[in-house]
Structure 1
Amino acid sequence: MQRMSDQPERWTQATVYTDMWADPDADPRNNEDSPDGELATLQDFLANYRMTLRMKCEGLDPEQLARRSVPPSTMSLLGLLRHLAEVERDWRNWLGDGEPLPKLYGAKDADFHGAAAEQAVVDAAYADLEREQAATDAALAEHEDLGRRVGKDGIAVRELMVHRVEEYARHCGHADLLRECVDGRVGQ
């Protein structure tokens, strides 16, 4: 556990706005083209939050990625990667009427509990997240009508899309704080 005197100094790579992650010209999330339409807007926001999560994890070793926040929390950046892979898989369960897909990591909170500081666990988490995101994106691409109700609970595709954006946005806020605790880097 870090003592207050062991906390890293706050820093950023940005020089224009020092509370930002990167300068506007160097930030890959900056896109001057505003998407047209509701679906494209939701997909754009989701893509930016997904990229933000990856950016918050860049340059960290397995120990740093697996570092827990504050006790008794089990949250870590690696745990967030695993959690979001699990959530992406679960969203596909909302689309169908059949048996739910099995959990990737096991029982409740196993995504966070199993976030061990090992390169193989880190590599698997990134691969799992990428695979699950692609599978959910593909499943949702079959439902362009945002008002269409799907699955056994009859959820609107729009609600599922908004929930995806909300889930990533919330966890990107966690990632901001986790990254700052790890090495002091600040920014949106």
Structure 2
Amino acid sequence: MTEQRARWTEATVYPDMWADPDDDPRNTEGPSPDGELATLQDYLTHYRLTLRMKCEGLDPAQLALRSVPPSTMSLLGLVRHLARAERDWRNWISEGDPLPKLYGARDADFDGAVGEQSVVDAAFRDLEREQAATDAALAEYADLGLRVGKEKIAVRELLVHRIEEYARHCGHADLLRERVDGRVGQ
């Protein structure tokens, strides 16, 4: 990499933040939610918003910009990967036949992340649809200790796994966004 991008943030209050607290949709006033399920859902929502924020304001080529060779990771690839993961998680809790792979062969979610507007639009539509479908499937289970699906995974375990997956990839998104245009922040 020969070009050194200047690090920057839109935040004016705290220089290590992505956005000012008053402009950050992840900030909520008041106490955290009551109860285990509400807390888990709150964390998941936070990380989902973070991923979207890291992608905002970029064109298709920037979203598809790869990290460093030989990695195929990009912000667009992360969006596609998480859409695929949401579908896979739904398969974990299903008793029926698994839904087909969203993007085909292994790593197609990253390999197919090319800088075209139609691919970007489809990726975000896929992510929204798959998140909503997995949320709806999990909403059927009030008992977080209930073991469901062919693998008998606990609902709690799946919720925690989703949070972990989004959190890990938000860390990747931090670095990818900085590579794209130098923007930094939590």
Fold conserved between structures, TM > 0.5:
yes
> What secondary structure does 2:95 align onto?
coil
Shift of 1:53: 0.2
User: Which among 25, 29, 33 is matched to residue 28 of structure 1?
Assistant: 25
SS at match of 1:60: coil
Residue number in structure 1 paired with 2:16: 19
**Whole-Å separation in 1 of the counterparts to 2:63 and 2:80:** 11
Deviation per CA, 1:48-72, whole angstroms, max 9, x where unpaired?
1000000000000000000000000
Specify the alignment match of 1:152 in structure 2. 150
1:73-152 pair list within 5 angstroms: 73-152=71-150
How many residue pairs get matched? 185
Tell me the alpha carbon deviations over residues 141-167 of structure 1, each in whole angstroms, 9 at most, x when there is no partner. 001210000011111000000000000
1:62 alignment partner AA: P
Question: Which residue is 2:50 aligned to?
Answer: 52
Q: CA deviation at 1:100?
A: 1.1
Q: Report deviation, 1:26.
A: 1.3
Q: CA deviation at 1:7?
A: 2.1
The aligned counterpart of 1:9 is 6
Query: In structure 1, how many angstroms separate the alpha carbons of the residues matched to 2:95 and 2:65?
Result: 38
Question: 1:175 maps to which residue?
Answer: 173
Runs of 4+ in 1 over 2 A off after TM superposition: none
Tell me the CA shift for residue 117 of structure 1: 0.5
**Alpha-carbon distance in structure 1 between the residues aligned to 2:172 and 2:53:** 13
Whether 1:69 aligns to 2:70 is no
Per the TM alignment, residue 179 of structure 1 is displaced from its structure 2 partner at its CA by 0.1
TM-score of the pair, normalised by structure 1: 0.97
Unaligned runs of 5+ in 2: none
TM-superposed CA distance for 1:32, in Å, is: 1.8
Identity of aligned residues (%): 79
Give me the whole-angstrom Cα distance separating, in 1, the residues matched to 2:178 and 2:61.
Answer: 15
Amino acid at match of 2:18: W
Instruction: Say what the alpha-carbon RMSD is for the aligned residues.
Output: 0.7
- Secondary structure of 2:69 counterpart: coil
Q: Which runs of 5+ in 1 are unaligned?
A: none
Distance 2:97 2:57 in 1: 39
